[in-house]
Amino acid sequence: MKTTLIQKAGAGIFGLSLAVLLISLFLGNYSLDEQQFRQVVTNEDHRALLEPELDELFSKKYSTTFPFAADYSDALNGVNDRLKSEEKWNAVIHKNYSLDLAKKAASGVVAENSLLFFLIAFVLGTLGALLFIFPRWWTKHPGIKNDGTFFRNQTNRGWQGVMVALLLIGFYIVLYQQPEHLTNWVLMLDPLSFAIKNTAADQWFLYGFLYTMAISIMAVRMALRYQHNRYQLIRTASVTFFQVSFAFLIPQILALLNQPAYDLKSIWPLEYTFFFEYRIDEYIQSGTIGIFMLGWGIALILIGVPLFTYIYGKRWYCSWVCGCGGLAETAGDPYRHLSDKSLKAWKIERWLVHGVLVFAVVMTAMALYTYFSGQSSILGLSSFEVRSWYGFLIGFIFAGAVGTGFYPLMGNRVWCRFGCPLAAYIGIIQRFKSRFRITTNGGQCISCGNCSTYCEMGIDVRWYAQRGQNVVRASCVGCGICAAVCPRGVLRLENKEEEGRINSDPILIGRDGARLSPDLSG
């Protein structure tokens, strides 16, 4: 690959935008007064409890979010500790005001020029990324473009890959644990948020925006890379469409209309809060639309998933619709070959992913029990405690920090493969009751290993192909890359009648005489 001038310019612009973005987090001043505090904290009890403790904070001017947040959390912890020692459990403040307070308190170059920063960091950054991507992948010779994959630092767990991983992991930790440090980024998105839904941005708007940008930009890369392959083009268009519309825009518009901001394509148990009482209450209170959403969500779980999975296989969701899948298939595509193909990894995968499914089911059952009975304790376990552990361990650590942060280390489907409870559920259906399979073309396999190498789910596709056996695996998301990279046209994704789908005793075509399926352990 020769780097062109345009590409260098693109990389430069993108790097500049990224630098601006990172530096912006440390710019500005933070000073909060009582007036602003009251605008944010509208709950009278919370106000009464917190305000006396914040005198010092009100009097100070902070140059970064860190001491500001530290002082605020000292005050908050002081209040909560006192309440706990007095056993006033119901009065304890759980609501996290820190990001909203920090936004109010912020002044300085970013707060005053949020639109300008938005343009530099995001619009210019996008332009830079596209300038980098276009000349790199636009080609007169469409075809498989895997040259240098294992030589490039970025895609072979070199320091560049590690840097990307650290950035992503750090972002997820801050986003979930201390979003107040993202104040300036959220401020930059305020204009956009107001334009779309007429309210200020919060960290989840920021997250949704970045997520959608990552998918959209990297979808361009994916489409250029696989311009010769219509399955890949249509699939990439599909995940991008579902992210932009269903996941990002429609919920914002619903919020604007005072309806539950529901992503209509999200399905329990991936969407693990679906049956939490505040969600159920929200649906019911929103009248017809809310009831429809509740019914739609349940219908997807009970009818949609089994039916579509029967007809098309797991792919209908995981590599065509899902947001996590969408990110993996676009932004994660450069890392797909880093998934572990060993038998051991497969064993770990089955225990983990089904374990998370059980955890999700138990947690949800407890939540529903609490909803209907009003009791939070079941067999000595607090339903709320279990939920918060699930949210922390699975929602934040597994799906976020590890699931995405580990792309450059363990491949782009870490979450989908090892953690997603919905993938586990769909996988069980795909394995036992589906028309989908990957068929192999007679005796044409040359055992080269491209299929296994580029399988993001870590399936050893070659093991099946070289013995002429259909690939019927719970984890297969049907991305179709194995078939694309196969140099001999041996693999094909198919929806066909169930008969003969699982051919565990295959015969390789090519010669006559007594035959034996080459079945050895392993």
Q: Select 374 or 489, whichever has its Cβ closest to another protein.
A: 489
Q: Is 237 exposed, middle or buried (0-12, 13-18, 19+ CB in 10 A)?
A: middle
Minimum distance from residue 467 beta carbon to another protein (Å): 10
Q: Select 345 or 365, whichever has its Cβ closest to another protein.
A: 345
Q: Select 183 or 339, whichever has its Cβ closest to another protein.
A: 339
Minimum distance from residue 439 beta carbon to another protein (Å): 8
Q: Looking at 90, 195, 258, 510, which residue binds another protein (CB under 8 A)?
A: 510
Handedness of CA 189, 191, 197, 199 (dihedral sign): positive
Backbone angles phi, psi at 381, to 5 degrees: -100, 140
257: Cβ–Cβ under 8 A, 6 or more apart, which residues? none
- What is the x/- site pattern for another protein, positions 37-76, by CB under 8 A? ----------------------------------------
512 belongs to the binding site for another protein (CB under 8 A): yes
391 belongs to the binding site for another protein (CB under 8 A): no
221 belongs to the binding site for another protein (CB under 8 A): no
Stretch that binds another protein, among 164-172, 290-298, 317-325, 445-453 (CB under 8 A): 445-453
Q: Select 404 or 452, whichever has its Cβ closest to another protein.
A: 452
492 belongs to the binding site for another protein (CB under 8 A): yes
What are the Cα distances from residue 197, in Å, to 172, 180, 205, 226, 256?
Answer: 25, 22, 11, 36, 5
DSSP string, 66-102: HHHHHHHHHHHHHHHHHHHHTT-GGG------HHHHH
Q: Select 321 or 363, whichever has its Cβ closest to another protein.
A: 321
Site size for another protein, by CB under 8 A?
Answer: 63
Stretch that binds another protein, among 46-54, 163-171, 378-386, 484-492 (CB under 8 A): 484-492
520 belongs to the binding site for another protein (CB under 8 A): yes
Which amino acid is present at 241?
Answer: F
Stretch that binds another protein, among 45-53, 181-189, 367-375, 438-446 (CB under 8 A): 438-446
Asked if residues 118 and 21 have their Cβ atoms less than 8 Å apart, the reply is no
504 belongs to the binding site for another protein (CB under 8 A): no
Residue 335 gets which letter from DSSP? G
* 158 three-class SS: coil
494: Cβ–Cβ under 8 A, 6 or more apart, which residues? 436, 437, 438, 439
Q: Select 86 or 499, whichever has its Cβ closest to another protein.
A: 499
Q: Tally the C-alpha atoms within 13 A of residue 224's C-alpha that lie toward its C-beta.
A: 16
Q: Looking at 312, 398, 406, 415, which residue binds another protein (CB under 8 A)?
A: 312
Asked if residues 307 and 341 have their Cβ atoms less than 8 Å apart, the reply is no
142 belongs to the binding site for another protein (CB under 8 A): yes
Backbone angles phi, psi at 495, to 5 degrees: -110, 115
Stretch that binds another protein, among 69-77, 91-99, 136-144, 364-372 (CB under 8 A): 136-144
94 belongs to the binding site for another protein (CB under 8 A): no
Stretch that binds another protein, among 226-234, 259-267, 294-302, 421-429 (CB under 8 A): 226-234
Q: Select 148 or 170, whichever has its Cβ closest to another protein.
A: 148
489 belongs to the binding site for another protein (CB under 8 A): yes
Q: Select 170 or 442, whichever has its Cβ closest to another protein.
A: 442
Minimum distance from residue 4 beta carbon to another protein (Å): 14
Window 148-167: residues binding another protein (CB under 8 A): 148-152
Asked if residues 250 and 208 have their Cβ atoms less than 8 Å apart, the reply is no
* CA–CA gap between residue 236 and residue 24 (Å, rounded): 33
Q: Is 126 exposed, middle or buried (0-12, 13-18, 19+ CB in 10 A)?
A: middle
519 belongs to the binding site for another protein (CB under 8 A): yes
Minimum distance from residue 149 beta carbon to another protein (Å): 5
448: Cβ–Cβ under 8 A, 6 or more apart, which residues? 462, 487
- Encoding tokens for residue 32? 């909060």
What are the Cα distances from residue 378, in Å, to 202, 285, 369, 374, 384?
Answer: 35, 27, 9, 11, 10
322 belongs to the binding site for another protein (CB under 8 A): no
* Nearest residue to 482 via CA among 442, 449, 522, 443: 449
Q: Looking at 487, 500, 502, 505, which residue binds another protein (CB under 8 A)?
A: 487
Minimum distance from residue 240 beta carbon to another protein (Å): 17
Which parts of this chain interact with another protein (CB under 8 A)?
1-2, 140-144, 146-152, 228-231, 234, 311-312, 342-343, 435, 441-444, 446-450, 452-453, 462-463, 466, 480, 483-485, 487-489, 492-493, 495-497, 508-514, 516, 518-522
